[in-house]
Structure 1
Amino acid sequence: MPSYTVKTLRALTRSCEDMRDRVKQIAFEPENTKVLNLTFGPGIAAELVGRSVEAIRQAEKDGRLPQPKQLGNARRYYTIDDLTHIRKVFGIEVGKASDEDAVVVAVQNFKGGVGKSTITKHFADYLALHGYRVLVVDCDPQASTTTMFDIQPESLLDDECTLGEFLSPRSTFDEFPKAIHDTAWPTTKIVPSSLGLQDAEWDLTSTLTEGSQAVRESLQRLRIGLQTVIKDFDVILLDPPPAMGFLGLNVMAAASGILIPVPARQLDYLSTIHFMETIAENLEILDSHGTPVDYGFIRIVCSAFNPGKPGEHEMLQMMQATYANFLLSQPILSSEEIKNATQAFRSIYESKPSAATATYQRCRDNLDSVFGEVLQQIRQQWPSKNLAMQRTTDDSGSIAA
């Protein structure tokens, strides 16, 4: 018979699951599944695709584009699928060239409460809104990002095509693309976290007793899996676990760029010193096991910044002095809009204002500014988008090392 403690914990689990389902039913009613009810007026649509309103209207007049949808008051609007079609008709390629690799970005910090999963979700939606093909890989057993994408981790228990199964050296599952799931965003896919991911950590750790070849293979499993889809996406976002075990090392080995969220609080600032030293040490460990890593960019973002809180403005100044050009110029502002959207299993980009429209727009403009800086770093990794690389190629006939 299960003990009182076990029965209590399981009863609490069922109660939490029931409440979660009730909240989702309210948030996503009547479908009970997340759908994108996003619409854009002509001006916003034109801005998102990078063409003028007049150019789009002319294409509609010429028959190259269908006539836009209209509300009852005759106001024209476009959906996210319409934006994709407009880009296709105009030949707009926002992402990498077909022969280039996706940029793999790890949003990493060991400390909890820094906004890692929230940033991952919002950045994914920002990229999708601008037409990029995105793969999110949730490597955290807590599965916060998975839940934000409307996938229940416990529903994957009987599904062998999971990230945990792929990463485990004990598993025979070796087809990484089968672990990829659709999301409500047409250009975004996800490899969700599952409850078996923690078991994979133990299986990976057990290779320490099996020799250097087994250890090297266990450290490269995620990198090898991503290589099978590296041409299919523009950006791959990794949401790592908060600790640096074998799962974390897999993330570090697979990434080609790293984004580090750090709140403007003294303890978070001080813990980041240990985090960065640990990262450097673990990269040396990876190198010693035949898995060298050299990131195309490292950027730090001040997260959940509240300029009205005592000491945070001074901490931001300290971060600016410490990190210099490695710190993004804009912090992510603390916002009730983000909290309210997250409680409804959505991002700001999927939500309507919960308060004043001006407050919502300030929050969204802030995120756009931050993510625009990160996107600039990503685009520089693609020779086809990097103007400096293109100029070097034009001058010398080859890209300088």
Structure 2
Amino acid sequence: MSYTVSTLRTMTRSCELMRDRVKSVVFRPEDRKVLDVTFGPTAAAELVGRTPEALAKAEKEGRLAPPKQLGNGRRYYTLEDLTQIRNALNIHPGKAADEDAVVVAVQNFKGGVGKSTITKHFADYLALRGFNVLVIDCDPQASTTTMFDIQPETLIDEERTLGNFLSPRSTFDDFSQAIHDTAWPTIKIVPSSLGLQDAEWDLTATLQEGGQAVRESLQRLRIGIASVTKDFDVILLDPPPAMGFLGLNVMAAATGLLVPVPARQLDYLSTIHFMDTIAENIEILEAHGTPVDYGFIRVVCSTYTPSKPGEADMWKMMKATYANFLLSQPILASEEIKNATQAFRSIYESKPSASHATYQRCRDNLNAVFDEVLQQVREQWPSQSIATGTPDLLGSAAA
């Protein structure tokens, strides 16, 4: 074995040991993440769309079980309690049973823009509000998979994975069997695995066959999602950082696009190339019999620090450039988010690392951002849409 290979293997083993030590501290004494998320009466009522007084009345009438209590008399609810309240009061925040899930790809080719962090936080945000969410990690780096407490290397001998499903050589064709539970009752995940990169090569090899083989390779993820689209309200795709066959599968499967762009000049400029590349690849998909038509495309300014003059100027430029396509709220840079992700968690499942006020500002900011995205999602369901039928027009953006 060469010095280089030996060194890399040693470094890998060392990193794996440290990762396991970190996780043993974060999740002890359990081997798996266990959510410690509770809500007071006001927060619980807000999440289910009722007033605290309405919940108290329903509890008094026996339509709802009384909340749990701490030794000091403080009343609280768990995630499971919120689900039971929604069921008892016939509250259905998501789509109608006969409608399809909205499939949102959180996509940008540039690294470090926050794709995985946004995917994880948006999934948790939706789950808190009672939506059934499926996360599909299409990135071989598996950051989102790790955030949901699944170690990609444990799937190496598992045959029912996304990589095996996407590979044209595979006989595995039941997409639902690649779906795993998470610590969140209403979030499931198709994790990334070490074989996902091999699937990319298998998909690319169909170019030699041409015609129908290429068309099927481009639509494999779309076909898999179609088999479970009635089971979820929102399906989130965390794509790979490059546009190969995996990326094309994501583009073909998505019905909405959320593009994270930090307020930095290089990220802004790289997004120009990204948008052009996406358009070109959609044309490729359509040329191979795979039509793509997104219900919405939105840009979100990520990791924004308004006190930095350069970023403040870029934010103004982004508002002038993207206009109607830019979410009105940027995601503010926060140590709370950084600290939460280092502990393999989102803000929504972690405790404040600094002051409660700082934590709450961060959470309120994310809620405001995701409220806007959720409105776009709702517009895709006929049962909830308030759209006038007027599509987004590029001409609506400022020159």
| Matches of 2:107 and 2:40, distance apart in 1 | 36
Counterpart of 1:380 in structure 2 is 379
Letter in 1 for 2:76: Y
Tell me whether 1:217 sits opposite 2:211 in the alignment: no
Tell me whether 1:95 sits opposite 2:99 in the alignment: no
| Matches of 1:330 and 1:92, distance apart in 2 | 28
Identical aligned residues as a percent: 78
CA deviation after TM superposition for structure 1 residue 184, in Å: 0.4
Deviations 1:323-364 (A, max 9, x none): 000000000000000000000000000001000000000000
Deviations 1:248-287 (A, max 9, x none): 0000000000000000000100011100000000000000
Aligned pairs (5 A) from 1:33-48 = 33-48=32-47
- 1:194 is paired with a residue whose SS is coil
Letter in 2 for 1:190: I
Counterpart of 1:127 in structure 2 is 126
Deviations 1:59-108 (A, max 9, x none): 11111111110001011000000000001111001000000000000000
Aligned pairs (5 A) from 1:59-74 = 59-74=58-73
| Matches of 2:241 and 2:13, distance apart in 1 | 26
- 1:385 is paired with a residue whose SS is coil
Q: TM-score, normalised by structure 1?
A: 0.96
| Matches of 2:135 and 2:387, distance apart in 1 | 29
Tell me whether 1:320 sits opposite 2:319 in the alignment: yes
Counterpart of 1:284 in structure 2 is 283
Tell me whether 1:353 sits opposite 2:352 in the alignment: yes
Letter in 1 for 2:291: P
User: Quick check: 1:379–1:385 contact (8 Å CA) kept in 2?
Assistant: yes
Counterpart of 1:305 in structure 2 is 304
Counterpart of 2:56 in structure 1 is 57
* Distance change (3 Å), C-alpha of 1:22 and 1:337: same
Letter in 1 for 2:265: Q
Counterpart of 1:184 in structure 2 is 183
Counterpart of 1:161 in structure 2 is 160
CA deviation after TM superposition for structure 1 residue 122, in Å: 0.3
User: Quick check: 1:383–1:389 contact (8 Å CA) kept in 2?
Assistant: no
Q: TM-score, normalised by structure 2?
A: 0.96
CA deviation after TM superposition for structure 1 residue 388, in Å: 4.0
CA deviation after TM superposition for structure 1 residue 247, in Å: 0.2
Moved more, 52-61 or 127-136: 52-61
CA deviation after TM superposition for structure 1 residue 5, in Å: 2.0
CA deviation after TM superposition for structure 1 residue 308, in Å: 1.6
Tell me whether 1:8 sits opposite 2:7 in the alignment: yes
Counterpart of 1:257 in structure 2 is 256
| Matches of 2:138 and 2:158, distance apart in 1 | 17
Aligned pairs (5 A) from 1:259-274 = 259-274=258-273
CA deviation after TM superposition for structure 1 residue 3, in Å: 2.2
- 2:247 is paired with a residue whose SS is helix
Moved more, 298-307 or 6-15: 6-15
Aligned pairs (5 A) from 1:137-148 = 137-148=136-147
CA deviation after TM superposition for structure 1 residue 294, in Å: 0.3
Structure 1 residue ranges without an equivalent (≥5): 391-401
CA deviation after TM superposition for structure 1 residue 389, in Å: 6.9
The ranges of structure 1 where at least 4 consecutive aligned residues each deviate by more than 4 angstroms after the TM superposition are none
Structure 2 residue ranges without an equivalent (≥5): 390-399
Counterpart of 2:331 in structure 1 is 332
| Matches of 1:34 and 1:148, distance apart in 2 | 10
CA deviation after TM superposition for structure 1 residue 168, in Å: 0.4
CA deviation after TM superposition for structure 1 residue 237, in Å: 0.1
- 1:231 is paired with a residue whose SS is coil
Counterpart of 2:29 in structure 1 is 30
CA deviation after TM superposition for structure 1 residue 33, in Å: 1.4
Counterpart of 2:199 in structure 1 is 200
Letter in 2 for 1:104: V
Coordinate RMSD, CA, aligned: 0.9
